[in-house]
């Protein structure tokens, strides 16, 4: 028995109750998407993303479609997807900026720093990662050898704390209708 939730620098909602409950029951968390769908790799450029068309929410049946001029490796969140532009927020861009600064200081990639933060959190047993290229597997595993300084952990915690959790946001009618019901307006 274990816990499996979205957990990353951009989504820390499980810290409110799920992680403490799991720890009290001897369960570990296996986070999914510790790189927040690639946002925390640092590959997305804010100016480029904001200059392109918006990504509407909905069933992910048109990912990558459209007239975008971005590189092929920079289109993962294009087209219809359940999250629309909800990952591209001022708060999340700030987290990416802090993450990149720490990565530069540590001589590591932003992805390795973000993964090292997740695997170093209390109650995390392992992580689930999706990769699009084989070389990313080895690079991500390299995060296990990264030790973050207390100062860097503090900076990441400060940048990423203090927001309503993803899980709780799913109960808002607008989000629920988009993510769970594919954009249908479902009312009670």
Report yes or no on 78 lying in a domain.
no
Per the structure, the count of domains in the chain is 1
Please check the confidence at residue 176 and state whether its pLDDT lies above 80: no
Has residue 118 been placed in a domain? yes
In a domain, 98, yes or no: yes
Residue-level pLDDT at 64: 46
pLDDT by residue (tens digit) across 88-131?
889 999 999 999 999 999 999 999 999 999 999 999 999 998 88
pTM, two decimal places: 0.76
Specify whether the CB–CB gap between 73 and 87 falls below 8 A.
no
Which pLDDT band, with edges at 50, 70 and 90, does 65 fall under? Answer: very low
DSSP assignment of 25-40: TTPPB--B-TTGGGGG
What φ, ψ does residue 141 adopt, rounded to 5°?
Answer: -65, -30
Query: Would residue 137 count as lying in a domain?
Result: yes
* pLDDT at residue number 166: 60
Assigned domain for 185 exists: no
Structural domain that includes position 138:
13-56+87-179
Question: Is 97 a domain residue?
Answer: yes
**pLDDT level of residue 79 (50, 70, 90 thresholds):** low
DSSP SS3 for 108: coil
Query: How far is the C-alpha of 102 from the C-alpha of 82, rounded, in Å?
Result: 30
Query: What CATH code is carried by the domain that includes residue 106?
Result: 3.20.20.100
In a domain? residue 70: no
pLDDT per residue over 3-59, tens digit each?
A: 899 999 999 988 988 888 898 999 999 999 999 988 999 888 888 777 776 666 554
Quick one: pLDDT at residue 60?
46
Residue 156 lies in a domain: yes
């Amino acid at each position: 028995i274990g816990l499996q939730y979205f957990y990353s620098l951009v989504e820390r909602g499980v810290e409110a109750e799920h992680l403490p409950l799991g720890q009290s029951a001897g369960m570990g968390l296996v986070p999914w998407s510790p790189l927040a769908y690639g946002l925390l790799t640092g590959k997305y450029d804010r100016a480029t993303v904001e200059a392109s068309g918006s990504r509407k929410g909905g069933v992910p049946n048109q990912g990558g479609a459209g007239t975008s001029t971005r590189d092929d490796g920079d289109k993962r969140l294009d087209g219809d997807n359940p999250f629309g532009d909800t990952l591209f927020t001022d708060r999340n861009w700030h987290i990416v900026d802090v993450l990149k600064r720490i990565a530069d200081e540590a001589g590591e990639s932003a992805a390795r720093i973000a993964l090292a933060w997740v695997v170093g959190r209390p109650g995390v047993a392992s992580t689930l990662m999706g990769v699009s290229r084989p070389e990313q597997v080895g690079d991500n595993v390299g995060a296990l050898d990264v030790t973050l300084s207390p100062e860097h952990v503090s900076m990441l915690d400060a940048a990423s704390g203090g927001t309503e959790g993803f899980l709780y946001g799913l109960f808002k009618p607008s989000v629920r209708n988009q993510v769970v019901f594919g954009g249908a307006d479902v009312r009670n």
